[in-house]
Copies of this chain bind each other. A is one copy, B any other.
Amino acid sequence: MDNNYAIILCGGSGTRLWPLSRSLKPKQFLSFTGEKTLYQETVERIAQKISLSHILTVTNHEHIFEVKGQLAEKYSKAIDGVIAEPLSRNTLPAIAIAVKRIFQVNPQALISVFPSDHFIKEPSAFIQAWNYAERAATEGYLTLFGIKPDHPATGYGYIFPNPSQDLSNLSGYLTVDAFFEKPNKALAEQYLNQGCLWNSGMFVFHAQVFMDLLLEYQPEIYSKIIEMSDPPTRIDYEDLESLSIDFGLTERVRKIAVVPVDMGWSDLGNWESIYQYQDKDKDNNCMRGEIVSVDSQDNLLWSDSGVISVLGVHHLAVIQSADVTMVCDRSKVEDVKTLVSKMQHKHPKLVETHLTVQRPWGSYTVLEERAHFKIKSILVKPHQRLSLQKHQFRSEHWIVVSGIASVTNENASFKVKANESTYIPANNKHRLANETEHDLIVIEVQTGTSVEESDIVRFEDIYGRDVSE
């Protein structure tokens, strides 16, 4: 019997990598280090040891289609393991609902927990550490991965292993004496000299051990999780305490082990860490997208849309998406949160979402928006269909530029091929679908007294989204 399981924590909604990360597109769903997103890289890394059907992903209900979409092609066997939390309650409840599901199927399970948005440069070091961590977990330890610090960071908690131990005699892990919260600079240097390790937020434990610890230290959360339906409802979550696993369990439990590891780890917590982990050119510039650089050194130049050109600038982070460009001194990246909160007031949409929005059936991109019209490019993936819907205030013109659209307009159903078009008057029930094996691309021109997304009545939806009647 395969007792190995993994839980991926995919509920983060940070904007520290704004303007690329947005609240509806947090960093785990973006690609920084290659073609795959951080979440996909996490799945792939875990799949080296865990079968896809044993990988659970806990995410926020707002990101459920993004998660499933990212799993769809290569990792579809992990889709059944996706759990949507109706509200965010920090890491302990997220881990607990996933552990409970696993425990009910296999009480002998050995469970590894990983964030979805970390970067690991040396996968073989990671795998070796994981093997050690599993050994410790089998022996009943709540086991952590302790990153060997290379500088006195103030952004992480520190793990203090029992100093009497000799790593080589202990099968790769150490027992832990204490935890320290994120320190100031002076304390961080002291911890560094004492041989402390960074707490990376990765865990391995036995399912039974976790359930016992939860009952012992957080009995209220334990009983609520036990009584909860699976998947949990909003009512289940509403009066659940918001608590991190560090504060709720790790810092209280006595039988803790840590595996020290040096694997080129980063939580990619700001743009500076992106700069540090990317390749540079001869001018020490790190460049992504269309960049033209003259007489400029030590910059992070990152374009998702359009061209960035720089002349005579140094030590900047220039990050560009289709709707906004951020120019920031690299030493100030920690203050992006200040910029984001100012942006929240002036341009809230720029904090929430991109012009391209993922949907369960594909995606759309807003090309132009004015008072009385909006133009979208719509991509419908093979065998997907939008909901049966209508709009009160807008009509829609659809022009197929690639693929074949299956269109429902009131009682009529028909095909629209590339270079053909059709028209959906306001208040007509309609549906757009792709019944082929190939992508469908439709240009939609909306006209009317309102072209807001909220003007939609859904009658039927294959993805379980709310319908009105």
Contact = CB atoms under 8 A, between A and B. Distances in A.
Query: What secondary structure prevails in chain A residues at the interface with B?
Result: strand
Contact of A325 (B308, B343, B419): B308
B397 A339 contact: no
A347 B290 CA distance: 10
A350 B307 contact: yes
A194 interface: no
Contacts of A421: 397, 421, 423, 445
A257 to B, nearest CB: 41
Contacts of A295: 332, 335, 338
A309 B310 CA distance: 16
Contact of A324 (B306, B419, B447): B306
Interface of A: 19, 290, 292, 294-295, 306-313, 316, 318, 320, 322-329, 331-332, 335-336, 338-339, 342-343, 346-347, 350, 367-368, 370, 372-373, 375, 377, 395, 397, 399, 401-402, 418-419, 421, 423, 443, 445, 447-448
Contact of A309 (B316, B327, B372, B448): B327
B326 A310 contact: yes
B418 A447 contact: yes
A418 B307 CA distance: 35
A418 B447 CA distance: 8
Contacts of A320: 325
Contacts of A312: 328-329, 331-332, 335
A419 B372 CA distance: 10
B292 A339 contact: yes
Given A445-B443, A447-B419, A324 B307 contact: yes
